[in-house]
Structure 1
Amino acid sequence: MKTIVYIGTSLDGFIARKDGNIDWLMKFASAEVFKPYEELTKRIDTILMGRNTFNKVLTFPSWPYKKKIHVLSKSLTQIPKKYKDKVTVLSLSPIDALKHLSKNGYSTIYVDGGSLIQSFLKDDLIDELIISKVPVLIGDGISLFGFLDSDLEFKHLKTESFSNGLVMSFYERQKK
């Protein structure tokens, strides 16, 4: 089982404004920047998403995913009817969610959503980080990283820069 985080942050480390708004991030979307995401989607079997991120995705003008979505939530009970065949809710811990997905044939998981990423990092369940830094400071918002009980070391693999000023860094977890 491999878990991968692919996420964008402001220079000051926020993934969204306090209200979940990502307008500042969307300004940097381009075909050039989208290519690494397309490469990622070829590698993954499914997306494991947090409830808040799922709720944000529901506000998008169209459904952006080709892969099955699994929403990890203890409070979400219903999925809109038009997404029933695309989304499954799992009310499990991070490790139990991975066991469930593995048992159902999934081996490479894209983990998405601030709180979900933090809980996976806290349990040392992330194998790769792909983090885009957008050249904007937003001053306050939802932080990508939270408290950890111990250090997690990652090896820097590469950093790509794009014509719009965005930089994307790729890291791999260094297990002890």
Structure 2
Amino acid sequence: MAQIKLYIAISLDGFIARKNGDIDWLENLPNPNKLDYGYGEFIDGIDTVIMGRSTYEKILSFGIDWPYSEYESFIFTRKAGYLTKTTRTQALALSQQNIELIKSKSQKSVWLVGGGEIITELLNMDEIDEMIICIIPTIIGNGIPLFPNHPKETQFELVNTKPFDTGAVILTYKRKV
């Protein structure tokens, strides 16, 4: 059965976005060598993406083509009858049954794109198998935390650390079972 992997960037003070959902601070990190911070290798290992409704709507607000069109995409929402606006994208209520269905259909790994609320909910359901967290050396002061709304205590093991010349660091953790 597929694993669920969180691959996400956070600010040095632990936020994934500003309060309004903006991630503009990510663009301020100088990257003269055009590093992808392991994204290319990561994306080759997934075939499904899952995210919360707010993250989905934020991506749509960028005015770009759906960046995950080649992947099966599932949007978790509490809004009954919510309709997605992109192909190969389906809106679902978050439940253990729906998570198990997604994992059973995936031939590779499932990428948990975000945001914070869905991250905490899946963490509390013991459904995050691996976390790849890219810490950006920027303090934004406030915003949407990586783990809002009372995450339960969960043990992870650090399995890899990769620093970059830009000052960013990727930490890879696997859930202890």
TM-score range, shorter chain: 0.7 to 0.9
Local SS of the residue matching 1:58? helix
User: Normalized per residue, which structure has more helix?
Assistant: 1
Q: Tell me the amino acid that sits aligned with residue 176 of structure 2.
A: Q
Across the aligned residues of Structure 1 and Structure 2, the Cα RMSD in angstroms comes to: 1.9
Q: 1:26 maps to which residue? A: 27
Q: Could you tell me which of 78, 82, 88 is aligned with 1:74?
A: 78
C-alpha separation in 2, matches of 1:105 and 1:157: 24
C-alpha separation in 2, matches of 1:61 and 1:8: 21
Residues 1-176 of structure 1 mapped to structure 2, 5 A cutoff = 1-28=2-29, 32-34=34-36, 36-62=38-64, 63-65=66-68, 66-75=70-79, 77-80=82-85, 83=86, 85-93=87-95, 95-106=96-107, 108-113=109-114, 114-146=116-148, 147-149=150-152, 151-175=153-177
Identity of aligned residues (%): 34
CA 1:10–1:100 in structure 2 vs 1: closer, same or farther (change >3 Å)? Answer: same
Question: Displacement of 1:8 after TM fit?
Answer: 0.6
Question: Displacement of 1:33 after TM fit?
Answer: 3.6
C-alpha contact 2:103 2:110 (8 A) present in aligned 1 = no
Q: Deviations over 1:145-164 (max 9, x none)?
A: 13233x21111111111222
Provide TM-score, normalisation by structure 1. Answer: 0.87
Structure 2's unaligned 5+ residue stretches are: none
Structure 1's unaligned 5+ residue stretches are: none
Question: Displacement of 1:105 after TM fit?
Answer: 4.4
CA 1:102–1:129 in structure 2 vs 1: closer, same or farther (change >3 Å)? Answer: closer
Local SS of the residue matching 1:15? strand
